[in-house]
Structure 1
Amino acid sequence: MQWAERTWTELPGDLQAVSAAAILPVGATEQHGPHLGCGMDFVLADALCRAAAKATGVPMLPTLPYGCSLGHSRRWPGTIALDPILTTQLVAAIGEGAYASGVRRLFIVNAHVTNAAPLRSALEILRARHDGLMVALVNTATLSERVREAHFADAADWHANDAESSLMLAIAPDLARPDRFADADDPDRTEGLVFAHPVNRTSLNGVTGRPSLATLEKGQHLFGWMVEDLCALIRKGVTETPPLSHGFDEPATIPTAREKS
């Protein structure tokens, strides 16, 4: 169920069938150490959301391949970063277009950690502009406890680590250089720090974690979990309604004792 492959006469029916829901995958283009391609984040977002769209019938908007990657500095070639304000504005504009096309439930699926703040800002903008639009921000590495544990197993500030390297072996082997995995390990140096330092001040090669531990089997299992858990979240969101039905433009009233309970 790819938005870009549907005609304008087909999309209204597509949306009606899934309570006007749509998925927006967001990634990044940035260095991922000496052993993974720079497209890792958006390739993961695209593959994950394609699988979820197919399983749930919820249309998937085209994947955004750029994100807020300023923290990766210019020490290593490959990073093409948007600043947080531009990222916020871009995603909010995409949300506006989706709303105009009939979307009322938007799942923003983020596969790059430092997109989280700009994407949350875009959510706030869209929610304030459109009382009838519900927006969810889903970060792929923390979809569920089992997915989180797999990502954080070898580093708290992980990047291009065991989990990400295993995922690329499973879903995009052309992005992986297995012969470089063993020499790509670099420890997490962020424990106890007060400031959020850029990657060039915490890593020697752009990696944080142990890609030497990566295997195809790990990647297959992890990706399977991610698809399963994202689909469960989307299916739940397709049927969710707000706890209260009134909108922000309606005058406030003092609740009765029964309403409070």
Structure 2
Amino acid sequence: MSTHWAHLTWAELPEKIRAAGHAAILPIGATEQHGPHMGCGMDYVLADLLCTHVSHETGVPMLPTMPYGCSLGHSHRWPGTIAVQPITLINLIKDMGDWAYQSGIRRLFIVNTHVTNAAPLRCALEMLRAEHDDMMVAVFNSAVISQRVREFHFADGDDWHANDAETSLMLAKAPHMVRPEKLAEADDPDRTDGLVFAHPVNRTSTNGVTGQPSIATAEKGEQWFRWMVEDLAALINKGLTEEPPLPHSYFHSCTSGDIA
């Protein structure tokens, strides 16, 4: 039976949720320009593929993938970006978490494939755990789930985008997203080193790219995707057995008798 939440009936979900330790995976992507060589849905496609594989490996149900994110920094310079405000993303994830809780979810693994979703997702995490005392929430940013994954993402720039890593991943797992004839001229360097301010992409890139997509290969992408699946699955499996270090309630005030 599928582990995709959307493919299961309401009668099937409770057993799936119990079998997975009352856990679920929530993939969050984005729809935004990815240079002249790659489709605008790259982040969404990666989130969906990665979490589908990890859901299969771990048995943890996967909620439908969110295709929109906080992509305001990509500006209006290039067509294709469909962004939501940070507060909108916060509220969406909070609402989704509330409803997942009502279905029995007590461990929510949010998997983010777009860098600037991170702050709103952290805010949603704070809100969910403050409301639901017995719910644990984790946010995993896909490019930094492990040291080896971080190294290949950041190899061609600290402010990377549509680079070797992302292009290689798509060549391996979703080649229809890449325009190979555009790769040779798509490279653009990281111009953010030493800057004080965080500038939008229209002021840091000539074509929406930061990095070297010209050196991307499907072979590298296959290996890198395998690492991402292995390392994310390991994190989720670890989280399935984790308990809070202390049992204290969020809502009950501390008294002198509580202090050891």
**Cα deviations by residue, 1:19-78 (Å, 9 ceiling, x for unpaired):** 100000000000000000000001000000000001110000000000000000010000
SS of structure 1 residue aligned to 2:111: strand
Q: 1:140 — aligned with what?
A: 142
Among 83, 86, 93, the residue aligned to 1:84: 86
Give the drift of 1:156.
Answer: 0.7
Please list every run of 5 or more consecutive structure 1 residues that lacks an aligned counterpart in the other structure: none
**Cα deviations by residue, 1:73-105 (Å, 9 ceiling, x for unpaired):** 010000000010001111111111101111000
Among 222, 247, 250, the residue aligned to 1:248: 250
Is the contact made by 2:130 and 2:250 (CA closer than 8 Å) also made in structure 1? no
Q: Give matches, 1:1-261, under 5 Å.
A: 1-254=3-256, 259=260
Sort the Cα spacing of 1:118 and 1:181 in 2 relative to 1 into closer, same or farther, 3 A.
Answer: same
Identity, % of aligned pairs? 66
Q: Distance in 1 between matches of 2:211 and 2:256?
A: 54
Q: Distance in 2 between matches of 1:147 and 1:237?
A: 19
Give the drift of 1:255.
Answer: 7.3
SS of structure 1 residue aligned to 2:184: coil
SS of structure 2 residue aligned to 1:239: coil
Q: What amino acid is aligned across from residue 9 of structure 2 in structure 1?
A: T
Q: Distance in 2 between matches of 1:156 and 1:246?
A: 40
Q: What amino acid is aligned across from residue 70 of structure 1 in structure 2?
A: L
Q: Distance in 2 between matches of 1:213 and 1:245?
A: 51
Sort the Cα spacing of 1:20 and 1:179 in 2 relative to 1 into closer, same or farther, 3 A.
Answer: same
Q: What amino acid is aligned across from residue 156 of structure 1 in structure 2?
A: D
Q: Distance in 2 between matches of 1:63 and 1:90?
A: 13
Q: What amino acid is aligned across from residue 35 of structure 1 in structure 2?
A: H
SS of structure 2 residue aligned to 1:51: helix
Q: Distance in 2 between matches of 1:67 and 1:99?
A: 22
Give the drift of 1:2.
Answer: 0.4
Q: What amino acid is aligned across from residue 241 of structure 1 in structure 2?
A: E
Q: What amino acid is aligned across from residue 107 of structure 2 in structure 1?
A: R
Give the drift of 1:250.
Answer: 2.5
Q: Distance in 1 between matches of 2:213 and 2:29?
A: 20
Equivalent pairs counted in the alignment come to 258
Q: Distance in 2 between matches of 1:65 and 1:118?
A: 15
Sort the Cα spacing of 1:242 and 1:177 in 2 relative to 1 into closer, same or farther, 3 A.
Answer: same
Q: What amino acid is aligned across from residue 133 of structure 2 in structure 1?
A: D
Is the contact made by 2:22 and 2:105 (CA closer than 8 Å) also made in structure 1? yes
SS of structure 2 residue aligned to 1:154: coil
Give the drift of 1:256.
Answer: 8.2
**Cα deviations by residue, 1:104-139 (Å, 9 ceiling, x for unpaired):** 000000000000000001101101111111000000
Give the drift of 1:245.
Answer: 1.1
TM-score, structure 2 length as denominator?
0.97
